[in-house]
Amino acid sequence: MYNQSISPSVIKRLPRYYRFLEDLEAAGMTRISSAALSEKMGITASQIRQDLNCFGGFGQQGYGYNISSLKVEIGKILNIDKTKKLIVIGVGNLGKAIASHINFEDKGYELIGLFDKKEAFIGQTVRGLPVRSIETIDDFCREHHPSTAVLCIPKDNAKEIAYKLVKLGIKGFLNFSHYDLSLTYDNIVVENVHFGDQLMILSYNINNLEN
C-alpha cells in the first residue's frame, strides 16, 4: 500500500531508523522528538520529518514520535512482520560468521538450511542446524520453499548455483560472491556486499581528510 510513493533513497534509510528505534525502545524510552532523534542519528530534523512523512507521518506536533508505533510501522513497510525462509550457501569462515551472528528473526527471516559442497563441513552443526550437502538442495527447496539465499561462495561457483537457486524459486539474494546476479536474472532482487569497494571508498576518503 505504501509502495508507490516511497523513493528508494528513503527506503535505504529505513533500516537505520529501525535500528535506532530498537535501541531507544530497549533503553526504555517511549517518545522522541525529531530534534532529539536528529542529534542521535547525525542527520537533520527536517530530513527525518520529510522521510517519516512519506508514509503518513507518525509524529504529533509538539509530542514527537511514539517509538514503539513508529518501529512497528517501519517494520511493516520493510515487510519484517512476515517471515521469509532463508538458506545460507557456503559455510566457510564468512558463511559461519553470517549464520552465527546475524539476528535473522529480528529482520523477518527464519534460517532453515545451510549448504556446502566441502565434505569436511557437511554434518557440522552451525547455529543448531546441520550443514547439508549442496547435492541435496533441489529436494530441500522443493520441500521447504525458502525465498531468500545468502551466497557465501566464490565468484566462480556462484554462477552455476545461482542459476539453480533461481529455478528453485529463490527471489532474494544477499550476495557476497562478486558474481553479478542482477545482470543475469530479471525477476529477483539482490543486495550485493563488496568489502573491496568499501575499502576503495575508504582509501579515497582517507586521502581527502583534512590535516
Instruction: Confirm or reject binding of residue 193 to a copy of itself (CB under 8 A).
Output: yes
Among 49, 117, 127, 171, interactor with a copy of itself by CB under 8 A: 171
* Choices 50-58, 134-142, 158-166, 181-189; region in contact with a copy of itself by CB under 8 A: 181-189
Interacting residues with a copy of itself between 11 and 30 (CB under 8 A): 11-12, 14-16, 18-19
Out of 7, 61, 93, 125, name the contact with a copy of itself by CB under 8 A.
Answer: 93
For the window 49-88, what string marks contact with a copy of itself as x by the rule CB under 8 A? Answer: ----------------------------xxxx-x-x----
The stretch among 24-32, 116-124, 138-146, 199-207 that binds a copy of itself (CB under 8 A) is 199-207
Map residues 130-159 to x or -, x wherever contact with a copy of itself holds by CB under 8 A: -----------------xx-----------
Our CA angle for 144, 161, 109, nearest 5°, is: 40
Cell for 145? 520453499
Decide if 101 contacts 88 (C-beta within 8 A): no
Report the DSSP beta bridge partners of residue 111: 86
Q: Which is nearer to a copy of itself, 125 or 208 (CB)?
A: 208
Query: Helix %, strand %, coil % for the chain, to 5?
Result: 50, 20, 30
Within 10 angstroms of residue 196's Cβ, the number of other Cβ atoms is 9
Binding piece for a copy of itself, criterion CB under 8 A, among 30-38, 45-53, 63-71, 195-203: 195-203
* CA-based nearest residue to 92, from 150, 138, 137, 148: 150
Residue keyed to cell 564468512: 94
Q: What angle do CA 116, 129, 108 make, to 5 degrees?
A: 100
Of 164, 199, 157, the residue nearest 179 (C-alpha):
157
Q: At a CB cut-off of 8 Å and minimum separation 6, what does 86 contact?
A: 104, 109, 110, 111, 112, 146, 147, 148, 149, 150
Residue 179 as a binder of a copy of itself (CB under 8 A): the answer is no
Nearer to a copy of itself, 41 or 129 (CB): 41
- Residues lying near a copy of itself in the complex (CB under 8 A) are found at 3, 11-12, 14-16, 18-19, 40-42, 77-80, 82, 84, 92-94, 96-98, 100-104, 106-109, 147-148, 171-174, 178, 180, 182-183, 187-191, 193-211
